[in-house]
Amino acid sequence: MVRRGGGAPRRDDAGAPPGAGAAVTTTEFDLAEGIAVLERTPGVLRAWLADLPEPWIRADEGPDTWTPFDIVGHLIDGEETDWIPRSRIILAQGADRRFTPYDRFRHLRLADGATLGGRLERFAALRAGNLVTLRGWTLTPAQLALTGEHPEFGTVTLAQLIATWVAHDLDHLMQLARVMGKRYAAAAGPWRAYLRVLQS
């Protein structure tokens, strides 16, 4: 991002100035809108990462941080163990509505020998199947208000869980851009001062 040459006050081109968060209008969850994001994520990842040179795929932010390859593995874990299984616990409304903790590091332990291309396709297939399930439920507002028990937060609603599924996708797309962008923090030279991605 290149700042104008004139005398305008400096402003972060990448978005809101720090501290502007209070002005943001947040929105209640809308299932159809949420699904519109969820169904696009596999295609976004494929367009972004498929056949990308290996140094980008293996880039990280330092020790104990994730590469793009790791991020896709983590998204697969979510499809397999988190969003739909937890939704089922809520919808069943059994005596024990406590969720199994989400193992965020599962993908790092599974020595599955996967390639990035394989992970991208697996994620796409899992996501597609999970959206068939979600749409098939034709959830009512009353169902979206049903609750389960998060192991740390306590009571949460189905709407909050599915909204988090959406925001979680966006969180990791943000991470992906950040991890990759940081590789060029030095290469960009003095422009670093105007690119938030190089400062984060």
Query: Residue 186: how many CB atoms within 10 A of its CB?
Result: 9
Q: Does 111 bind its own copies (CB under 8 A)?
A: no
**Six-digit token pair at 199?**
């400062």
Q: Does 170 bind its own copies (CB under 8 A)?
A: yes
**Six-digit token pair at 181?**
């962008």
Cβ 124 to its own copies shortest distance, Å: 11
Q: Does 92 bind its own copies (CB under 8 A)?
A: no
C-beta closer to its own copies: residue 113 or 152: 152
Amino acid at site 117? G
Q: Does 63 bind its own copies (CB under 8 A)?
A: yes
- Which of 95, 111, 142, 186 binds its own copies (CB under 8 A)? It is 186
C-beta closer to its own copies: residue 114 or 124: 124
Residue 44 makes CB contacts below 8 A (sequence gap 6+) with: 173
H/E run at residue 147 = strand 147-150
- Which of 21, 113, 136, 141 binds its own copies (CB under 8 A)? It is 21
Q: Does 6 bind its own copies (CB under 8 A)?
A: yes
C-beta closer to its own copies: residue 132 or 152: 152
C-beta closer to its own copies: residue 122 or 163: 163
Q: Does 141 bind its own copies (CB under 8 A)?
A: no
Q: Does 102 bind its own copies (CB under 8 A)?
A: yes
Cβ 48 to its own copies shortest distance, Å: 5
- Count of positions on this chain that bind its own copies (CB under 8 A): 92
DSSP category for residue 144: H
Distance CA 89, CA 92 (A): 5
End-to-end CA distance of the chain: 15
**Six-digit token pair at 101?**
């903790």
Provide φ and ψ at 149, rounded to 5°: -115, 110
- Which of 92, 110, 129, 171 binds its own copies (CB under 8 A)? It is 171
Distance CA 177, CA 172 (A): 9
